[in-house]
Amino acid sequence: MTRTILITGAGAGIGRATARTFLAAGWEVALLGRRRETLEETAEGRPARILVCDVGDPDQVQAAFADLPRLDVLFNNAGIAAKAAPIDEIPVQDWLDLSHTNITGMFLCARAAFGLMRRQSPQGGRIINNGSISAHVPRPGSTPYTMSKHAVTGLTRTLALDGRAFNIACAQIDIGNALTEMAQGFTKGVLQANGDTKVEPVMDVAHVAQMVLHMANLPLSVNTPFVTIMARDMPYIGRG
């Protein structure tokens, strides 16, 4: 039986690269995002289920997941960033917009996937949350994003525990400096903890997609609760 994955934030970046990798591997892929045209660009003419949805809207998420006959894997990937600044200079609306996607959206999609996996036959599935190096250590001026990624870690830990009773595995992939549109700034210079601005190493986003595919192909009796994949020489262990 062909396995099915739903990928949120599938219209660009990590989501797009991962979707194309799963399509090439013969999976049934559901592409979820806010804009139909970008999702269709991701599919490149290959058969894929297009789900236009704002992940932070409960009604839209419920309707999107209700359209699925079965779900083996959710790649809970959608996320946005905010402009770096000290917390008192960050507009409250920027925080609300980011948490709408990065926290509420993650919760709603995980909730919908968990419910579907719990009730389908055969029971079970895998949820892979997109965390970040920022789930472990912050960049300067990154309060909203760092808070949101620490929240993702809490989601992962809880679902990894609660999912055991329903044959649901939950894992997190923490990604560092994959070269996407969002990460272009790394190649031009990024503020460091000591106040310097430095160009940082990056890696091809295809490596992330292949890692997600590897995690998805594991039997449900096996879990990788936290996987870190990063450009080798990026400042992580020494950050701060």
Active-site residue numbers? 145
60: enclosing H helix or E strand: helix 58-66
Query: How many angstroms separate the CA atoms of 170 and 164, rounded?
Result: 9
DSSP output for 138-185: PPTT-HHHHHHHHHHHHHHHHHHHHGGGGTEEEEEEEEE-EESGGGGG
In 3-state terms, what secondary structure has residue 12? coil
Three-state SS at 86: coil
Tokens encoding 149: 């990624």
CA distance 10 to 32: 6
144: amino acid identity, one letter: P
197 forms bridges with which residues in the sheet?
191
